[in-house]
Amino acid sequence: MKKIICLALFVSVSLLGVSQVKVYPLAEVDAKNVKGESFVYLLPITTLKVTVYEVKVTEVKGYYSDYSESLLGLSNCIKENRSYYELGGIEVEPITTADPNNSFMVVGKNLSSLKEKFKKNLSINQKSGLEIKSYRKKTAKLPDFFYNYADISYTQQSQAFVETKIIDGVVTQVPASHTKVVSKSFEQKARQAADAIVKCREDQYLLVAGDQETAYSGDAIKTMVEELKTWEDNYMSLFTGVRLYDTVCHIFYITPTEDLDEVQLFNFSSEKGLNSSDQKFESYSLKLNKLYNTSKISNSLKRLTSDTDFSNYLRYRNLVPVRAELNLNGKTLFDYGFFEMYQFSEIQLLPVNLITSNIESVGFIY
């Protein structure tokens, strides 16, 4: 009997402490009139972290591109220097942040245990931030062979002839030669580069086919073939040209509201890149498909009578699944699957006499 009386007394004291806890919207609170302990919490909201990889492609014409088809039979080569933009990828990641439009103050006594629960929730959802930033992920440069390539503009040419000489009274014809320096034409330079490509291919074939006197090891043959392939590619770039890829990573944050079904992300054009005002731009947006209809806080409040004291209730919201699709000019381009988002759920009311229950999803503490 004594145990029952003690238990009842303990419950009464606990409820008395709980009954002294009040919850008010922060906008309606006058800090001067707050008595006792207090802390502020905000409801969680889902922000979408959008990462866009913008790739600037620079095409550089090869030195001998005009001879690519006549000497090597290549027709798909870069014929002029130009630049254009491509999208390297679009990543969307949901992160949890605080909702500044739904902030509340909890006032009462002995709030330390309740504050600890809010702090625990904050540590779980500490990913936050609303800054917009861009950084350069990768900057390409011309290959060293292409950038530093220079062919000698002259060559030595030998001319053989026969000289007539009198040796010991005998007329004798003696073979002779004359060497002179002549300039090489641009076509001759291109032909020498083409010959180097053919020679590299022949040497690769001979090594792979085993048509050599020395018995090389497998690793040695692999190394030599790779080196010859590098030479071939270097000389080939003189005809085909090179493409440089310069990637810029743009990161920005979007917080959809509960009444939006589609969020505009950015415009893009191949001529101007991201957020282009070009008339030929492409419009990218994110379509959010809720699985079921949700309502705002007013619907929750309608469940209570007009004389209900809302200061006796904590506000909280839960995660709900939302299907996200990337749209290009209004047509589905990619399906990201389901995101769990807070703002599309109905705001719930939790009586203060239940504050000892699990409140992991209630909100953040200031």
Residue 99 and residue 42 in contact, taking contact as beta carbons nearer than 8 Å: yes
Kindly state whether residue 112 falls inside one of the protein's structural domains.
yes
Asked if residue 58 lies in contact with residue 239, where contact means CB atoms within 8 angstroms, the answer is no
User: Which amino acid is present at 107?
Assistant: V
DSSP string, 102-139: EEEEEEES--HHHHHHHHHHHHHT-------EEEEEE-
| Pairing between β-strand 242-254 and β-strand 133-138 as defined by DSSP bridges | antiparallel
The reply to whether 97 falls in a domain is: yes
- Assess if residue 106 is contained within a domain: yes
Residue 240 in any domain: the answer is no
**CA pair distance 24, 32, nearest whole angstrom:** 14
61 and 78 Cβ atoms separated by less than 8 Å: yes
Length of the chain (residues): 366
Our measurement of the distance from residue 261's CA atom to the centroid of its chain's CA atoms, rounded to an integer in Å, reads: 24
Residue 215 lies in a domain: no
Whole-angstrom distance between the N-terminal and C-terminal Cα of the chain?
45
- What is the model's pLDDT at position 134? 59
Q: Is residue 116 part of a domain?
A: yes
pLDDT on residue 161: 65
Q: What are phi and psi of 38, to 5 degrees?
A: -160, 155
Residues 6+ apart with CB under 8 A from 7: none
Query: At which residue do the structure tokens 């929750």 appear?
Result: 300
What is the number of structural domains in the chain? 1
What is the block-wise mean pLDDT of the chain (366 residues), using blocks of 10 residues? 39 46 83 76 88 92 91 90 93 88 85 69 44 60 77 64 71 71 80 92 88 81 92 92 90 84 88 74 89 53 59 84 91 91 84 61 53
Question: Cα–Cα distances in Å, from 322 out to 45, 335, 348?
Answer: 13, 12, 19
**Tokens matching residue 159:** 């001319």
In a domain, 272, yes or no: yes
Q: For position 9, what pLDDT does the model report?
A: 35
Query: Which residue type occupies 292?
Result: Y
Q: Which amino acid is at 155?
A: T
Residue ranges making up the domain that contains 274: 22-57+92-139+248-365
Calpha distance 61→187 (Å, rounded) = 16
Whether the pTM exceeds 0.75: the reply is no
